[in-house]
Amino acid sequence: MTQAESMSAMSKEMQDCVAACMECHSVCEETMSACMQMGGQAQMQIMRALMDCADMTRMCADMMMRRSSMSAEMCAMCAKACETCAEACMSMPDDPQLMRCAQACRRCVETCRAMAGMAM
């Protein structure tokens, strides 16, 4: 089954959640790169949150796409990691990349919480 076939077989809510997870993963990766270029300005707390969130969102999307029986639990954990990351990013409100990341994380929190409450 191709990814396109797999996506078409999913509910709209699951497709939205996978898309939000992948967008969040991508933005977290971009933000980690931006933070590394800032050097000392990037706090370790933010970097750890970005790494956790990037890993969690990728794994969550993968599990939903393969219809894992643990998807709901993973969505709940993913929502928690994304919320932590959004809060860490908000600690530097003047940085546009960190604010973009916080926004992507919050969108992912919403969709993952919705999926965590549904039977998959």
The residue type of 54 is A
Residue 35: what are its φ and ψ, rounded to 5°? -65, -40
Q: Report the pLDDT value the prediction gives residue 79, as an integer from 0 to 100.
A: 97
What burial class does residue 15 get, using C-beta atoms within 10 Å of its C-beta: 0-12 exposed, 13-18 middle, 19+ buried? middle
What burial class does residue 111 get, using C-beta atoms within 10 Å of its C-beta: 0-12 exposed, 13-18 middle, 19+ buried? buried
Question: Measuring CA to CA, which residue among 89, 108, 97 is closest to residue 17?
Answer: 108
Residue 6 pLDDT grade (very low, low, confident, very high; cuts 50, 70, 90): very low
Rg over CA atoms, the chain = 14
Residue 37 pLDDT grade (very low, low, confident, very high; cuts 50, 70, 90): confident
Residue 104 in contact with residue 83, Cβ under 8 Å? no
Q: What is the pLDDT of residues 58-88, one digit of tens each?
A: 999 999 999 999 999 999 999 999 999 999 9
Is this prediction's pTM over 0.75?
yes
